[in-house]
Each structure stands twice: as C-alpha cells, then as structure tokens.
Amino acid sequence: MIRPFSFFRSHKGQATTEVVLLFPVFVIFILFIIKIFGLLVLSQKMEIASYYAARRFQLQSHETDYYQRTWDNRFLEKDIQEKVESYLGFNNPGMRKFLSLNEFKMDVQRSGTWTKITLTARTKPPRIRFLCNYNKDQVCDRDMKCLKGYAFLCETGGEVTEIKYIGKNERPAPYIRPGEK
C-alpha cells in the first residue's frame, strides 16, 4: 500500500539556518515593494484628482472679480480640496497609513488666459528601523543618489506634485428659439 504523503516524510527538511538567515532579507524586499507600490498608487490617484479639480474649477468658477473673491475663494476651492483629500485617503486611517500621507495643499493661480492648479501631497518617511539606525555619511559615502534615498527613507519623506492648466470657462450660450426675447 502506497501512502500519499510518504514522499514528503522520506526526505529531510530544509536547513533551519538558511531559512533563518534569509528571512530578514525577504522582509526587507517586501517592505520596499510595499512602499514603492504605495507611491505608485498615490501618483495615479493624484493624476485623477488633479483632473477632477481642474475640470470642476473650470466649470464652476466665475470670471467676475466679485464672485472670484467671494464664492470661488470661500466655497469652491475649499470644497474641491475637501473632495480631493477624501479621494486620496486623508480621511481614511488605513489608506493614510498605507500611503504614508502627511499633508495636502491645493494652490490656484489665476492669470489672464490660464488658471494653474497645483496639487501637492507630502508623505511621511517610511523610517525602516534597521536601515535608519546607521549614520548616512557612513552608508552613502558622499553618493548623491544614496543621500537622496536615505533622506526619503529616514528623514523627509516624499512629495508628489501634479499641475494642470485650464482655460477660461467657455460654456456654450443657451439655445434661444427664434422670436423669443
């Protein structure tokens, strides 16, 4: 009679020292992959949010100075910023932690023909303990790319910026039947 699991019992197992030594290396790779994936997700969400903010501001903003100072500044910009923050995950503690979100800023600059909308999301540094315990001068040895990466991981975090330019709100004139006034 052949036992179905006898193949697994007849061979000796993996050496535990190899598993114990390689496990921290796998953990480091997994942490890096998760943080890089989080930055990619944040970048894509910022692109979608910037399109939403620009389009909504284009369609709902006013051209008269009075409404620009009152309704646009007091309500429209704040409402767009709240919606974008909610979409990015600032209101969700799980998403905020996954993306390492720190703060968000929306800037609207009007000019004669174009309006520039800048969305900026700052992230917290991941601060992976076993990497940040070492002195950056000893680790990087004056390599600028290494210093920049160390600053992102342990000190400053990152910043994702999206800029959209929108034209004036050129809504089509409403249709008026001939003969109406």
- pLDDT tens digits, one per residue of 101-131: 999 999 999 887 788 999 999 998 877 777 7
pLDDT of residue 39: 85
pLDDT of residue 155: 84
Q: How many Cβ atoms are within 10 Å of 8's Cβ, its own excluded? A: 8
| Burial annotation 47-84 (CB, 10 A radius, 16+ → b, else e) | eebbebbbebbbeebeeeeeeeeeebeeebbeebbeeb
Q: Whole-model pTM? A: 0.72
Q: Please, are residues 162 and 46 in contact by the beta-carbon 8 Å criterion?
A: yes
pLDDT of residue 63: 79
Token pair for residue 86?
């909610």
Residues lower than pLDDT 70 in the chain: 1-15, 169-181
Q: Please, are residues 72 and 62 in contact by the beta-carbon 8 Å criterion?
A: yes
pLDDT of residue 13: 57
pLDDT of residue 152: 81
pLDDT of residue 47: 95
pLDDT of residue 117: 94
| Secondary structure of residue 66 in the 3-state scheme | helix
